[in-house]
Amino acid sequence: MQQTPSILMAIANFLAGLLSLYSLLIWIRIILSWLKTGAENPIAYHLGKIVDPYLSWFRGIRGLIRPRFDLTPLVALAVLSVVQSLLRLFGRFGTITVSMVIALLLQTLYSFIVHPILFFFFILLVVRLYFCYKRSIHSITYIALLDSLVGGLLDWTHRTFYSRQTVNDRKLVLTSLVVLAVGWAGSSLLLRLLLSLLTKTGI
pLDDT in tens, 135-193: 777 788 888 888 888 888 999 999 999 888 888 889 999 999 999 999 999 999 999 99
Confidence of residue 14 (pLDDT cuts 50, 70, 90): very high
In this structure, the answer to whether residues 113 and 198 fall within a common structural domain is: yes
What is the total count of domains within the chain? 2
Does pTM surpass 0.85? no
Query: Is a pLDDT exceeding 90 seen at residue 102?
Result: no
What's the average model confidence in pLDDT over 3-15? 80
Query: Is a pLDDT exceeding 70 seen at residue 4?
Result: no
> How long, in residues, is the chain?
203
Confidence of residue 2 (pLDDT cuts 50, 70, 90): very low
> What three-state secondary structure class fits 137?
coil
Opening angle at CA 149, ends 147 and 152, nearest 5: 80
Query: Is a pLDDT exceeding 90 seen at residue 9?
Result: no
Query: Is a pLDDT exceeding 50 seen at residue 95?
Result: yes
In this structure, the answer to whether residues 114 and 194 fall within a common structural domain is: yes
In this structure, the answer to whether residues 35 and 17 fall within a common structural domain is: yes
In this structure, the answer to whether residues 32 and 88 fall within a common structural domain is: yes
Q: Which of 132, 124, 118, 125 is nearest to 167 (CA)?
A: 132
> What three-state secondary structure class fits 70?
strand
Query: Is a pLDDT exceeding 60 seen at residue 5?
Result: yes
In this structure, the answer to whether residues 78 and 129 fall within a common structural domain is: no
In this structure, the answer to whether residues 102 and 68 fall within a common structural domain is: no
Range of the domain at 14: 1-96
In this structure, the answer to whether residues 129 and 85 fall within a common structural domain is: no
Query: Is a pLDDT exceeding 50 seen at residue 104?
Result: yes
In this structure, the answer to whether residues 175 and 198 fall within a common structural domain is: yes
In this structure, the answer to whether residues 74 and 1 fall within a common structural domain is: yes
In this structure, the answer to whether residues 203 and 179 fall within a common structural domain is: yes
Query: Is a pLDDT exceeding 50 seen at residue 1?
Result: no
Residue at which a domain ends, from 50, 73, 96: 96
DSSP code, position 146 = H
Residue at which a domain ends, from 36, 64, 96: 96
What's the average model confidence in pLDDT over 120-125? 92
Cα–Cα distance for residue pair 113/120, rounded to 1 Å: 11
In this structure, the answer to whether residues 89 and 102 fall within a common structural domain is: no
In this structure, the answer to whether residues 150 and 72 fall within a common structural domain is: no
pLDDT at 183: 93
**Is the torsion defined by CA of 178, 180, 185, 187 positive or negative?**
positive
Q: Which of 63, 184, 35 is nearest to 116 (CA)?
A: 184
Identity of the amino acid at 98: V
Contacts of 139 (CB under 8 A, 6+ apart): 131
Residue at which a domain ends, from 80, 96, 112: 96
Query: Residues 30-84: pLDDT tens digits?
Result: 888 777 655 567 777 888 888 888 888 887 777 666 655 667 788 888 888 888 8
